[in-house]
């Protein structure tokens, strides 16, 4: 039972049957595993900020400057370290350009649709279309019909757009505080 070679190397021997801490010596492989595990646990999860500076180094002796001389970090590790150093956070919703466009479009469609419909009704019932020449009258008849047919649909689409924006904001809202004091990059999450 006390034979250490029977321990499963994947798990810590302390949690396996037959482990006796005072009376046994761990084999070399398991000792190395324990050391590795302890080292991994003691290492911080987030890598520290790189201390290397990538500014070009000027050779005062007159020779050619070597940019690699100013680097103390391994160049192959640079992308990973940069990703670790960057902190991502979501920006506020009012910076979403699509949402801004939708808000403007919704208001314009609603107000424009109502205004256009009122204009067409005024044209019909006040007889303003009968003024002017025959060609002008025909043009007025044309646009009065177009406004009559489309203006309510434009107003409906605008109202639904504004309503959809409210629903969108409601689904995206969260009580978390946003941190947006850094430089920003726009992108799709594709």
Partner 1 sequence: MPRRSMSSTSSGAVASARRPNFLAVMFGAGLLLFAGGLGMVVADAQARIDAAESAISFTAEEREYFGGDIETTVESVRLGALFSSMYTGADVSKYEVEVEDARDGSSSTSIYPVTYRVILALNQGWHATPVTLPAFAGLALTVGALFLGAARWHRRAVRRSRN
Specify the residue, 4 or 91, whose C-beta has the smaller distance to partner 1. 91
Tokens describing residue 124? 């019909």
Please select the residue that binds partner 1; options are 89, 128, 132, 163, rule is CB under 8 A: 89
Please select the residue that binds partner 1; options are 88, 135, 173, 176, rule is CB under 8 A: 88
Binding segment toward partner 1, per CB under 8 A, in 3-11, 15-23, 35-43, 150-158: 150-158
Tokens describing residue 13? 């021997």
Specify the residue, 13 or 109, whose C-beta has the smaller distance to partner 1. 109
Task: Establish if 119 lies at the interface with partner 1 (CB under 8 A).
Answer: no
Cβ contacts of 30 within 8 Å, gap of 6 or more: 4, 7, 9, 13
Residues 25, 34 contacting (CB under 8 angstroms):
no
Helix pair angle (97-126, 134-172), 10° resolution: 150
CA distance 52 to 71: 6
* Burial bucket for residue 7 (CB in 10 Å: 0-12, 13-18, 19+): buried
Please select the residue that binds partner 1; options are 29, 136, 138, 163, rule is CB under 8 A: 138
* Contact residues: partner 1, CB under 8 A: 49-51, 53, 76, 79-80, 82, 85-91, 95-99, 101-102, 105, 109, 117, 124, 129-130, 138, 141-143, 145-146, 148-150, 152-154, 157, 160-161, 164, 168, 179-190
């Amino acid at each position: 039972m006390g034979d250490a070679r029977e321990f499963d190397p994947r798990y810590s021997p302390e949690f396996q049957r037959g482990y006796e801490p005072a009376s046994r010596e761990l084999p070399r492989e398991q000792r190395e595993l324990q050391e590795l595990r302890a080292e991994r646990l003691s290492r911080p999860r987030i890598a520290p900020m790189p201390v290397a500076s990538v500014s070009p180094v000027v050779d005062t002796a007159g020779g050619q400057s070597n940019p690699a001389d100013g680097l103390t970090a391994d160049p192959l590790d640079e992308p990973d370290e940069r990703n670790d150093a960057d902190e991502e956070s979501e920006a506020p919703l009012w910076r979403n350009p699509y949402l801004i466009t939708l808000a403007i479009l919704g208001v314009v469609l609603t107000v424009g649709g109502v205004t256009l419909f009122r204009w067409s009704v005024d044209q019909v019932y006040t007889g303003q279309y009968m003024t002017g020449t025959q060609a002008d009258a025909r043009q007025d008849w044309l646009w009065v019909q177009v406004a009559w047919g489309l203006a309510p649909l434009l107003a409906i689409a605008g109202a639904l757009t504004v309503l959809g924006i409210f629903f969108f904001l409601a689904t995206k809202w969260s009580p978390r505080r946003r941190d947006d004091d850094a430089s920003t990059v726009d992108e799709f999450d594709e």
